[in-house]
Amino acid sequence: MAHSHSETPSTTTPISLRVPKRQLDLIDRAARFLGKNRTEFLLDTAYRKAQTILLDQTTFYLDDTAWENFTAALDARPEDNPKLRALLSRKPLWER
């Protein structure tokens, strides 16, 4: 299913949101950074997130060997990654 920006006004539906100022300011900053207006940013972001959620529900099938490799990879202890550990321990910019 393709996403289209060429919808005509008669085929679109308005929505209304109440957004805390702090969150709206962050959304607006991100939209400006990408050269989009608020509506474009919100629609594109929500659309991509909806696709991701639905795609994550997709079933996939593996043969016995692929399944064993897959479960072994999931069960394996992750390698130490000091850079990732440092990144995850930092406070996000939007919470500073």
pLDDT in tens, 81-96: 999 999 999 988 888 7
Q: How is residue 92 annotated by DSSP?
A: P
Check whether 56 has a pLDDT greater than 60.
yes
Check whether 62 has a pLDDT greater than 60.
yes
Q: What are all long-range contacts of 3-11, with beta carbons under 8 Å and residues at least 24 apart?
A: 3/47
Phi, psi angle pair for 34, to nearest 5°? -90, 0
Q: Which residue has the higher pLDDT, 7 or 18?
A: 18
Q: Which residue has the higher pLDDT, 12 or 41?
A: 41
Residues 30 and 41 sit within 8 Å (Cβ to Cβ) = yes
Q: Which residue has the higher pLDDT, 92 or 67?
A: 67
